Amino acid sequence: MEYKLIAFDMDGTLLNSNKQISKKTQEAIARAVAHNKIVILNTGRNPAELEEFYDILPGVRYLNCISGALVYDLKEKKALYQKSFDEDILKNIY
């Protein structure tokens, strides 16, 4: 079986204890992209919180953010999917 997509969790997985992505990991991701693999970052964060990683991971195109509530295309700079709670539901939860 040949994989076409590789998804990485950020906090506690891809990021080390210093909240950085190691050079070795950056190189591995670059190799995956060079072999036409789609690399996705998964996180509970929003896209703005990941901006510091965009330059060191130039081949990453998609973000699965806000715990799945937003799928974002970095190349096109637009949301591909987004879902938020209805205001009434949030009021009930609160």
- Per-residue pLDDT reduced to its tens digit, 25-47: 999 999 999 999 999 999 999 99
pLDDT for res 90? 84
DSSP state of 86: -
pLDDT interval class at 86 (50, 70, 90): confident
DSSP state of 49: G
Give the CA diameter of the chain: 48
Containing 24, the helix (H) or strand (E) segment is helix 23-34
Please give the sequence-ordered ranges of beta strands (E in DSSP) within the chain, or none if there are none. Answer: 5-9, 38-42, 62-65, 70-73, 78-82
Close Cβ partners of 35 (under 8 Å, ≥ 6 residues apart): none
Q: Indicate the domain borders of the chain.
A: 5-93
CATH of domain 5-93: 3.40.50.1000
